[in-house]
């Protein structure tokens, strides 16, 4: 067998492969668990359940952190004589071959998000865990998805993207070279499940289109409570807002240029014009009849005031530039803005629609620094 033959034998086939973890709760699933362990699918076992129990007990009893014997007693009571290997849940990730031992869902989430407390209360965290967020576009949207999940802002996600990862995406999208040619919704789902395997996730690897848009908003394992719109297709941008408005769902969007963030509270303003009325009466049905130049004009109107560098780049796209320029720093900032605003919208702390700019070029530049000594003296 030649090297080429051996490579072909191991080559990955397809772009949507496994993206859901497998769960084993013992002793009920012991037969299937033994079968998994006896197979060649498991490449690595991560079992830190004893440390997780200790961390959970210490987290629930912060005043006892220095009293190890007492904490050990509480931990033993929590375990209740159950063999450690049967405690909690074993989670198998088929795409990586990793088998991970974790606390049960509620204790896992309480411990994983405990350091949010003081900024997000446990009651607020519980409320957020019952929400579902839809994300359209998982290139720029990947950063938002990861930040939302890391902060525990939703317990369910619906992810839509038809595209696969290309090497040129890795200047801004958090993924590895082993993810090349994998669907972006699959990549995001895997990453979210690796943060919290108990999440409820639906994926739409064909992207959003007329045949599945109703399912995306109202079907699956539940209707969405908030939409994060990060797609490139102008018609889908409008169609998604039309559906969000009809379902009274708020929409959040960032452009990662000038730190621009849009909030459209269709839940509170069901008659609100799309994109703040920027496009007038234009609907998604109007766009297919427009010329390319007219569509670009509509897109630029959607974005609004852009940075000088992006403005200078637009005439070069398709000539000396392959596509719109985007930076990882702008995408990361956008993910943070989307997560922060989505949390406040879902908690009822932010009720107004509007367009906002967190333009770092404008906010952080020579001559604008605060005086640290003066600020310290004012405290």
Asked if residue 327 belongs to a domain, the reply is yes
Please tell me the predicted confidence (pLDDT) of residue 370. Answer: 85
Which domain-ending residue is among 71, 92, 112?
Answer: 112
Same domain flag for 138 and 68: no
Same domain flag for 198 and 337: yes
CB 183 within 8 A of CB 163: yes
Asked if residue 143 belongs to a domain, the reply is yes
Same domain flag for 240 and 282: yes
Residue 49, domain extent: 20-112
Same domain flag for 333 and 215: yes
Same domain flag for 59 and 180: no
Which domain-ending residue is among 53, 88, 112?
Answer: 112
Asked if residue 322 belongs to a domain, the reply is yes
Q: Which residues of the chain have pLDDT under 70?
A: 6-7, 12-16
Return d(Cα 303, Cα 312) in angstroms, integer: 15
Asked if residue 297 belongs to a domain, the reply is yes
Same domain flag for 268 and 326: yes
CB 15 within 8 A of CB 203: no
Strand partners of residue 91? 23, 100
Asked if residue 351 belongs to a domain, the reply is yes
Same domain flag for 96 and 146: no
Asked if residue 59 belongs to a domain, the reply is yes
Asked if residue 364 belongs to a domain, the reply is no
| Sequence-separated (6 or more) residues with CB below 8 Å from residue 140 | 172, 230, 254, 256, 326, 331, 334
| Sequence-separated (6 or more) residues with CB below 8 Å from residue 305 | 258
Asked if residue 378 belongs to a domain, the reply is no
Return d(Cα 107, Cα 115) in angstroms, integer: 14
Neighbours of 206 (CB within 10 A): 14
* First-residue to last-residue Cα distance in the chain: 74
The tally of domains found in the chain comes to 2
Polymer length in residues for the chain: 379
Angle at 343 between CA 339 and CA 345, to 5 degrees: 115
Q: What does the pLDDT look like over 287-310, one tens digit per residue? A: 888 887 777 787 787 777 888 888
């Amino acid at each position: 067998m030649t090297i080429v033959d051996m490579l072909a034998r191991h080559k990955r086939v397809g772009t949507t492969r496994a993206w859901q973890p497998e769960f084993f709760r013992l002793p009920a699933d012991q037969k299937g668990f033994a079968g998994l362990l006896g197979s060649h699918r498991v490449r690595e076992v991560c079992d830190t359940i004893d440390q997780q129990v200790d961390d959970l007990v210490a987290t629930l009893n912060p005043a006892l952190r220095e009293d190890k014997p007492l904490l050990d007693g509480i931990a033993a009571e929590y375990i209740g004589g159950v063999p450690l290997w049967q405690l909690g849940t074993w989670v198998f990730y088929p795409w990586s071959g990793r088998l991970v031992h974790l606390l049960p869902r509620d204790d896992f989430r309480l411990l994983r998000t405990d350091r949010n407390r003081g900024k997000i209360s446990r009651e607020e965290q519980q409320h957020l865990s019952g929400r579902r967020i839809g994300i359209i576009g998982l290139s720029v949207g990947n950063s938002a998805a990861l930040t939302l999940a890391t902060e525990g802002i939703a317990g369910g996600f619906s992810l839509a993207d038809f595209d696969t990862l290309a090497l040129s995406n890795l200047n801004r999208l958090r993924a590895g070279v082993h993810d090349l040619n994998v669907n972006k919704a699959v990549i995001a789902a895997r990453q979210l499940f690796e943060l919290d395997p108990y999440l409820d996730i639906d994926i739409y690897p064909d992207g959003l289109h007329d045949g599945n848009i109703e399912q995306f908003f109202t079907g699956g394992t539940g209707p969405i409570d908030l939409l994060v719109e990060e797609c490139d297709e102008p018609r889908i941008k409008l169609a998604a807002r039309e559906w969000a408005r009809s379902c009274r769902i708020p929409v959040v969007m960032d452009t990662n240029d000038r730190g621009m963030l849009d909030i459209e509270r269709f839940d509170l303003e069901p008659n609100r014009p799309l994109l703040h009325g920027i496009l007038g009466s234009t609907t998604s049905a109007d766009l297919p009849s427009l010329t390319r130049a007219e569509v670009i004009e509509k897109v630029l109107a959607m974005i609004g005031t852009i940075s000088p560098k992006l403005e200078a780049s637009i005439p070069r796209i398709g000539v000396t530039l392959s596509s719109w320029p985007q930076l990882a720093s702008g995408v990361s900032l956008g993910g943070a803005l989307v997560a922060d605003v989505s949390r406040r919208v879902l908690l009822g702390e932010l009720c107004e629609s509007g367009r906002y700019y967190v333009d770092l070029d404008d906010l952080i530049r020579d001559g604008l620094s605060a005086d640290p000594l003066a600020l310290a003296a004012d405290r």
